[in-house]
Every structure is written in C-alpha cells, then in structure tokens.
Structure 1
Amino acid sequence: MRSDLSARVAAPVAIAAPHTAAVAAAERAIAAGGNALDAALAAAAMLSVVYPHQCSLGGDLIALVRTPAGETLSIVSAGAAPADILSIARNWTTMPRQGAHTVTVPGIVAGWTAIAELGARLPLRAALLDAAETADRGTPVSAGLERAIDSRVEQIRADAGLAEVFAPGGSMLREGDSLRQPALAATLRRLADDPRDIYDGVTAELLVEALTRAGGTHRIDDFRAHAAEVGSPVEATIAGARWFAAPPPSVGALLLGVAAAAEDASENDPARDPGNLLLDASLLGVRSRAAHLGDPRTGPASAAALLALAGAESAMAGESPAHGDTVAITAADAEGWGVTIVQSVYMTFGAGMLDPATGIVLHNRGAAFSLDLASPARLLPGARPPHTLCPVIIEDDDVLVVAGCQGGRAQPWILAQLIPQLRDPAVALGDTLARPRWVIGDVDLGHAELTFVAEPGADDELVAYAESIPLPVARFAGPDDSAGHVQVVRRTSHDGFTTLDAASDPRADGAAVVVPN
C-alpha cells in the first residue's frame, strides 16, 4: 500500500524519502529481503543520483540507528578540513562561500558503510549498483531539481562539470527532462566493488587532482584519514519520552535543548501559549548555537551547553545561506530496527563544483567554519565544521518516532514544532507535515537580521507575539522549501499489535510507503 505523501497499514517495513525514485529503490531492497537499514541505504544511494543539488557522494552524513535490542547509536560521518588549509587561509578575513577551499573530505560513503555494518541484510553493493543503473539510464528531472537549477544558473554555467550535466548543449534542464550521469554511474560501480575507493583509491585520487587544479590544499592523506564515528547519541527525557540526537558537530543537542526548555516552561506556566514558549526557546537556541556548536575534537564545542541553551547574546550571521542543502531518509520495521539518515552538500550544488572525471558534486560544508580563534567552529587542520544535520529518534513504551528534515539551520525549530503531534498515534503523520510552519533565521533566510518567517496560515497569535518581542516578521508566499522537508516513520505498539506509519513532506518530491509481508 502506498500514496504520494503518506501511508498507514500494519506492516513490517516503512520508509519515507523526499524523492519517489528513492522510495522505489527502498521497495526493491525490501523485496530482495532487506530490513529497514537496507531500505534506507538504497534510498540514500539513489538520492545521490536523483537529488544531486541536495546530496551527493561528495557530501556528508549524520544518522541515528535504533537496534532491535533497544539501543540507539549515532553515526557521524562529517569530513574534516585539509591538513594544509592554514597555508592558504592565514590571511583570510572572511571564509570563502564556495570553491575548492570550502570542500572538506566527503563523509557520506563511510557513513553508509558504518550503517550497513550495524545490521543490514543486503550488501551495500546492491544499493550502489541500483543507483548506478539509474545514473546511467537517466532519471526525469523533478520539480525540486528544476527549482534548484533555476536558483543557480550562473553557478552552473561557471563550472564545466555542472554545465555538462545540468545544462547539456547550453540549455538548463527542465522538469521531466532526462538527467543522465554516466561518470557518476562509473564511480558508483567502482564504489560497489570497494567503498573505500573514495578515500584511498582511484576515486580519491581523481577528486584530489580536481581540487588541486582548483587551488585546493587537499592531499590523498586527508581522504585516507577519514572514518565514520559510531557511538553514543545525546539523550534527554522530555514529556515522558526519551529523545536521541547526534553529538557535535551535529546541532542535535540544540534540538533537545529547545524542546526541553519549551516543555519545562509550559509545566512552570501552563497558562502561556506553547507556541510562544517554543519561540522563546528557539531564540535562546540561536545564541547557544553560535557560542557552543563546533567540533569537540578541536575546539570548545559542548553538547551540555547546547542542551542547556547556554550562550551570550549573539546572532547567526556569518555563515552561508544553506537553502536546499539536505535530504532525510527515515525507515523502521517490525523487527525493531529504526534509522534516520540525513545527508547533505550544504548549499545548493555545494561548492559549485562537479568533477567531470567522477561525476561527483562536491559539498561546501567548510564554508560554515569561523575565522574567530575563540569560536568552537574555528577553522583548523583536521577540524569538522558545525553541522546543520539533525536526525532525531523519540521513544516511549508504546511509540517510536524516527524523523529528519532538510531546512538548514532551522532544523531544530522545525522538528521541535512537529514532534509533539508526530508522537500522537491519533494524529495522521501526513496531516501534521502539511500544517503551516514558521522558522527563524537571518542570512540563511535572506534577511540581514534575525527574523521570524511564517508560511501562510501560521498561527496569527504567534505572529503577533513575535512582533511584540519585538522580532522582525516576514511571510513566505506559500509552503516553502526553507520551512523544511520532513521525513518521518512511526511505530506504535498496542496490545501486542504493531502498526507502522510513514509520511513524506508535501514540500518535497517524495513519498512514503509501508510494505507488508
């Protein structure tokens, strides 16, 4: 049973993703005997082909996996800055926004491998070969990809690799046109034989050559040094449920901090509007993010401070806008597996570079570094930049919610708005995802200062409260990509009966499917 946006049946595997081709790949994996991990990995690999403006083999990955034993694990596969980066960055006054110097080592493939090793039934090779076939054969350009192309026309024309793929013959691809990527197909087949090839094989050598030609300081040793980090998540108990998120450099702890602060404030002052309390907590989250998010291996980043929403008065200005940066894939099964994968190229089409030899779009996650030596996000050799990627798992005795979203720096506020309703089995997931949302941001939303931006139909009382703070208020023209593409699955247990639900955000090009026996 399936629908374009949501599905609900008693069944063993559920999957949600922002593109129908990714969901179809997941269905093929399930039909081949795969579990939730296999379904999510098949979708994730396919998205690197059909949604290259948002994720690619040249990007990063952060994920959470819940095992049938009830343990939740964090997978952080975020790449680091080159060892020689300071040789060229010493005299910078601002971080570059695109180009070779913003490219950190791509972590996505190592992340897929780490997830597969936790309990996938099928070899990762199957997902990569399926994606390679689509890259070779071609796939219709989606509405979302057309919007992305239109937003980056000059960037595409300026890069030979991007132009070859997205403007063949000089004309930008349109919705329904065939997107063919033979070089990417060849790379995917190489990785199917050996996923480490992107770190210490032919693929790595080709990427280093491309980056060196573009002025980068990357060396093959930078790629060889990368490994996914599998470990314990950040955890908090909120409204009677256990919430799990990835540790820094992921922003996940901030989501938990915002949700906990809003819940605590509601308990202390139940007469106040919950939406107002969530906005107050999100505003605290803005300054906490600036003060405490970064790589704990190389700077003073602190998950505890993010959970506490600690931080001095600050704004988010200084980072690049990150529209269209991310995809989320969520899956769960009756066996007990749950997985949320969030993968990204940061800005739309990342660094504005597609290597023609490999077909890989390279991300610009390094643009999020700070040149302030006191910042937890400071640029250092081997450091990982702060990450917007924010997968989350919430569980109590009866309900498991597995969620993730696109939405740049707004991901914590987007998810915090939705999760209370997503936890309620009486409320259809698709109905919750279709409701109008609000976000706060500055340059990431096209505003010079921190601004509250609402979709049409958002709560008028909350808008009035934002104006009273005072906080500048703006409106989206309609449902907007910047309000996030949320993907969610839910497993509900009652009287020994398990029900799986799935829903895909109507703002994306996706679908949700629940696959029966």
Structure 2
Amino acid sequence: MNHDRPGVIRGAVATPHSDATAAALDTLRGGGNAIDAALAAAAILTVVYPNQCSIGGDAIALIGDVDGSVTVINGSGRAASHLDVDVFRSARDAMPVTGAHTVTVPGVLSAWQSLASRWGSRPLSAALSRAAELADEGFPVAPGVARGLAHEANALAGDAGARDVFFRAGGVLTAGQELRLPRLAETLSRLASDGIGQFYGGEIGQRLVSTLRNMGSSLDVDDLIRHEVTIERPHAMTFRGDEYLSAGGNSQGTYFLQALGALDRVAERLGRVPDPLGADAPVVARILGAAAASRDAMLGDSTVAALDIDEVLGSARLDAIAAQALEGGAVPVNLDQAPIERRKGDTVAIVAADSDGRWVSLIQSAFHAFGSCVVDPATGILLHNRGASFVLTPGAAGELGPGRRPPHTLMPVLVRRAGELIGAHGTMGGRAQPQIHAHLALQLALGGDAASAVSASRWILGQLEAGPAAENDSISIACEGDAPSEVASRLAAAGFVVGTIPQHDDVAGHTQLVRKAGPGAFAAATDPRADGAAGTAEQDAG
C-alpha cells in the first residue's frame, strides 16, 4: 500500500494467530469484505493451529448484514446414520474422548462454502489456495501449538498419521520448529480446484471414510453426502441497553444469553454493573452456575429435544436466577464436584467487520486439543472429536443417536445497539465459552476498552470439556493468578472450592473482539492467552 496517499478504513479483524490475521488484513486491503477476510483467516488457522481447528472439524457462524440483520450458519455435523446405539452402549459405560468413534461428520468446509456463496465477494478457492501454499511451504510451530503437543503427546503417539505429522526423532515438535503438511496441502489444493464436493462424497471423503471404518467407525460416504448446513435465526438478549445475539439449536449460545439476562436484572437491582473481579464475584458465579446447569440438562439436537425458549430465556426464569444469586442460593449440585478438564486447545474464534456494515463471528473447532488425535494418512486431515459430547444416558437431551447432532460448545456472538451492529465477539473455551463471553460483556459494560476487556483476569467455573480430568484439577472454580486476591476469598466464602491457575492460562479462553469505535472507525483486540493479532486495514482512497 502507498502510505503517501490518504486511505480509508476498510475493516478490522482479530484472530488467535498472527499469520491468520495477516491473511485477513491482506484480503481487506485488496478489496475483500469481512466475510472474505474471515474465510482467509479460517483456512490459514486449520493449517497453523491444528491443536484447535481443522477442515476435519465443525463451524458455526453469525453473519451481520449491512441492514443490521443477523443470520446463523450452523455447520455442525451428525453422527453416523447407521450407528447401532445399543451395540455401542453395550461395549462401554461412557463416550470415548479420542479415537474414530468420536468423529461426527465434519462441517467446516460446508459452512465456509455457505458463507462464501451467500455473503462473500471472492470464491472460497482463494482462501483454500493460500492455506495450501502455507501448508506446503512450512511454518514455525506456535507456542500454543507446542503446549498442546506436549500435553497430548501420548494420545497423538497412538495414531500412525499423527506420529508422521507431529513427531520428529521420537518426540513431538517444539515451539519454533518447522512444521510442513504436504498431504494436507495437496488436499487443500484439490478442494480449491475441484470444490468441496470432493470432501462430501468425492475422492477425498471416500479416503477419509475408509480410514475411519478401518478403525471401527460407522460413518460412511452417504453420511458425508447427506450433510447440510442449516440457516437459522439467532436468539437475543438485552444487557445494559445493548442487544447480544448468539446461536441456538445445539449451540450453547442460548445459555450465555440466559446468564446475560439474569446479570442485567442483577444490575438493575444493584444500580450498577456487577463486577466479576470485585465484591460481586459470588453473585456472578451463581448466575453462571445456573446457566451451566441448564445447559447440561437441556442441550442437544433440537430436532430430537426441542428447546422451550420461553423456559430458558423467559422473564420468569431470568428473574428467578437473579433473585437466587442475590440471596446467596446454593451452588448448583452438578457443579459442586465438577472437575476442570485440562486438555489444551479446542477452538478458534475469528471476528471481522468492514466499512460497508458487514460483521462476522466465526467459530471453528477440533473440540479437544487435536480433536480425536486421528490424522488420516491419505489426506493429511486431522479429525475432530465432537462426538465426545454425546452421552449414553437413555432419554437425555444429548443422548447419542444415529444421525443426531451432538451438544455443541461453539457459540458466536454479535452485538447491536439501536438496530446497528457494533460488535463481533468470539472465544475459545469449550463448555466455559458462555462464562468467558459473560466476563467480556461485563468488562465492556464496566467501561473497559477492547484491549483491557480481552486481557482482564478471569475465573472459570466447572468442567470445561467432556472426558476424564486429572485428580489435581478437581476444583469448582479456577481463578487466574493475577486476579485480585480478595476474589478467591469471596468465592470460597460463598461455598465454592477455589483453585489457582497461572495468569493468562489457556483454560481461561482466547477471546477475540472487534467493536465499532465511531463513524468509519473500529477497535480490535486479541487475547494475550493466544498467539494472535488484531488490527484494522486501510485501502487507498484514490
């Protein structure tokens, strides 16, 4: 760009990896819109951040259009249509956390294609081609990826495809070492040239299914062919005058909105915004605990377990949660002994906006760090473990079933004020995403700017992910070490078991934020807990 000529702000973006942000900003400077920029970042992230996302994973997005309308793109996939649940249940007491049995139909590519076709100004092939080049050239392992590799070394060592990609001389790659992904590069190039049909029933999908079925999976090519994105309406909740929107269905966004509605009622009664790092920490914790309890009891495939929105987001429910929180009601029973699952990774959030009024919050995921820890040797595709969220309890909302969508942690967020879109929020954080979004909303309402809101200390309540947890992580609340000391004391006095995690720990999530900062101006911020970058893009005015 010629900096001697005046420019105009084209847009803004934040992602958890600097290479992805650079690709998005280049796209904006080249005349692409916010959706093009988000897709450029999303494709790069499946290459450079394999601990958190993959084209073998899922995605859910919120798109805000120039007229202020908001649409949900739900790309989450389903369990195998020919799965015999009785046979599956007879062989185990709970869902596995890794391996081929945790792989549901990956929906990332279908979500990307839907975004590009409906709102993009560039073909999806542009994003896929750039990602293919980077995968082929190689890149240094980011610190966050290295932490995930060290933590998941044993699980990855059990898969031949993963060993080939992530190990060198008997050990996992470390930060700064070069990672090249030639087979994934070939796959991405093929998808760019021939289209995503190569995945959903074509040769790439057939190879993937062959690998999975050899490992005992019930998925078949027809499951890939039948996969469809669903276009949905968001749910909304007003908090301190702003309208927050998130996904419903099998997404846990509804429970964030429930917590936000109760927090708004608390703010009305207190005459101030409750401070999660001050005297109000126990009140905030009780509200977040109530929302988490609702999630666990009610979240599942909405075509099987239809959600009563009036029950979840109705005034009676919100008033009751707020009243109990203020009165010092008991901590929800299911959270008293809930351990924190310390597996690293899980999700990336990409947020972007452009000067024409388009906004996007795109969340994509491998679920746990490196997902199922299965890498298909033929295609280089790492597969997620989203099926680990199912439960085997008969009649449960999240019960495993043929063709069902699992309960989903992904929950993009957009914000409107007086009908105008003003914010795109996103975070990594597994089951704690509603809590992290609540912390972010509270920090903004307390007057924080974008940078201070994403970097503020957090505490996280309850178990983050499915699967067994380490014994030394059996705590109800994990409080970052740089939080004010009285926060832990107040939470403990309120009946929570409190433990400490390091400052800016991955467990507390990776938030990404773009906010409107005035006419033609944006503020963008990335979480210091990740390896990301945020910024605005100018374009030559003349």
Which runs of no fewer than 5 residues in structure 1 stay unpaired?
A: 2-8
| Count of aligned pairs between the two proteins | 506
Equivalent residue, structure 1, for 2:522: 500
How far is the alpha carbon of 1:421 from its aligned partner?
3.4
Does structure 1 residue 486 correspond to structure 2 residue 521? Answer: no
How far is the alpha carbon of 1:93 from its aligned partner?
1.9
Amino acid at match of 2:399: R
| 8 Å CA contact 2:432, 2:464 repeated in 1 | no
What do residues 9-64 of structure 1 show as CA deviations (whole Å, max 9, x unaligned)?
97221010000110111123223321111110000000000001110011000110
How far is the alpha carbon of 1:370 from its aligned partner?
0.8
Q: Secondary structure at the match of 1:199?
A: coil
Q: Secondary structure at the match of 2:395?
A: coil
| 8 Å CA contact 1:347, 1:364 repeated in 2 | yes
Does structure 1 residue 325 correspond to structure 2 residue 346? Answer: yes
Superposition CA RMSD, Å: 2.3
Residue among 374, 377, 383 paired with 1:362: 383
Distance 1:391 1:63 in 2: 6
Equivalent residue, structure 2, for 1:5: none
Residue among 355, 358, 361 paired with 1:340: 361
Residue among 511, 526, 531 paired with 1:509: 531
Equivalent residue, structure 1, for 2:431: 409
Q: Secondary structure at the match of 1:11?
A: strand
How far is the alpha carbon of 1:467 from its aligned partner?
0.8
Amino acid at match of 1:32: G
Distance 2:435 2:9 in 1: 31
What do residues 91-119 of structure 1 show as CA deviations (whole Å, max 9, x unaligned)?
13211111111100001000111111222
Equivalent residue, structure 1, for 2:296: 290
Equivalent residue, structure 2, for 1:371: 392
Does structure 1 residue 59 correspond to structure 2 residue 57? Answer: yes
Distance 2:504 2:412 in 1: 22
Equivalent residue, structure 1, for 2:305: 299
How far is the alpha carbon of 1:190 from its aligned partner?
1.5
Distance 2:341 2:249 in 1: 19
Judged with a 3 Å threshold, the aligned counterparts in structure 2 of structure 1 residues 154 and 211 are, in CA distance, closer, same or farther, namely same
Distance 1:149 1:300 in 2: 39
Judged with a 3 Å threshold, the aligned counterparts in structure 2 of structure 1 residues 138 and 304 are, in CA distance, closer, same or farther, namely farther
How far is the alpha carbon of 1:304 from its aligned partner?
4.2
Judged with a 3 Å threshold, the aligned counterparts in structure 2 of structure 1 residues 318 and 427 are, in CA distance, closer, same or farther, namely closer
Give the TM-score normalised by the residue count of structure 2: 0.89
How far is the alpha carbon of 1:318 from its aligned partner?
9.7
Amino acid at match of 1:137: E
Judged with a 3 Å threshold, the aligned counterparts in structure 2 of structure 1 residues 146 and 420 are, in CA distance, closer, same or farther, namely same
Name which of structure 1's ranges 50-59 and 441-450 shifts more when overlaid on structure 2: 441-450
Judged with a 3 Å threshold, the aligned counterparts in structure 2 of structure 1 residues 235 and 135 are, in CA distance, closer, same or farther, namely same
| 8 Å CA contact 2:341, 2:470 repeated in 1 | no
Amino acid at match of 1:401: G
How far is the alpha carbon of 1:320 from its aligned partner?
6.8
Amino acid at match of 1:83: S
Distance 1:26 1:379 in 2: 37
Name which of structure 1's ranges 427-436 and 381-390 shifts more when overlaid on structure 2: 427-436
Residue among 406, 410, 429 paired with 1:389: 410
**Superposition pairs for residues 431-450 of structure 1, below 5 Å?**
431-442=452-463, 444=465, 446=470
| 8 Å CA contact 1:298, 1:380 repeated in 2 | no
How far is the alpha carbon of 1:319 from its aligned partner?
10
| 8 Å CA contact 1:79, 1:107 repeated in 2 | yes
Distance 2:309 2:116 in 1: 27
Amino acid at match of 1:452: I
Judged with a 3 Å threshold, the aligned counterparts in structure 2 of structure 1 residues 399 and 23 are, in CA distance, closer, same or farther, namely same
| 8 Å CA contact 2:24, 2:37 repeated in 1 | yes
Distance 1:304 1:338 in 2: 28
Q: Secondary structure at the match of 1:330?
A: strand
Judged with a 3 Å threshold, the aligned counterparts in structure 2 of structure 1 residues 443 and 241 are, in CA distance, closer, same or farther, namely closer
How far is the alpha carbon of 1:368 from its aligned partner?
0.7
Does structure 1 residue 472 correspond to structure 2 residue 497? Answer: yes
Distance 2:188 2:211 in 1: 18
Distance 2:121 2:410 in 1: 26
Equivalent residue, structure 1, for 2:17: 19
**Superposition pairs for residues 181-200 of structure 1, below 5 Å?**
181-192=181-192, 193-200=194-201
Residue among 416, 421, 430 paired with 2:443: 421
Equivalent residue, structure 1, for 2:202: 201
Q: Secondary structure at the match of 2:295?
A: helix
Does structure 1 residue 99 correspond to structure 2 residue 68? Answer: no
How far is the alpha carbon of 1:301 from its aligned partner?
4.1
| 8 Å CA contact 1:322, 1:346 repeated in 2 | no
| 8 Å CA contact 1:114, 1:230 repeated in 2 | no
How far is the alpha carbon of 1:210 from its aligned partner?
0.5
Name which of structure 1's ranges 19-28 and 68-77 shifts more when overlaid on structure 2: 19-28
Q: Secondary structure at the match of 1:314?
A: helix
Q: Secondary structure at the match of 1:349?
A: coil
How far is the alpha carbon of 1:246 from its aligned partner?
0.5
| 8 Å CA contact 1:61, 1:344 repeated in 2 | yes
Name which of structure 1's ranges 266-275 and 321-330 shifts more when overlaid on structure 2: 266-275
Amino acid at match of 1:236: M
**Superposition pairs for residues 63-74 of structure 1, below 5 Å?**
63-74=61-72
| 8 Å CA contact 1:14, 1:514 repeated in 2 | yes
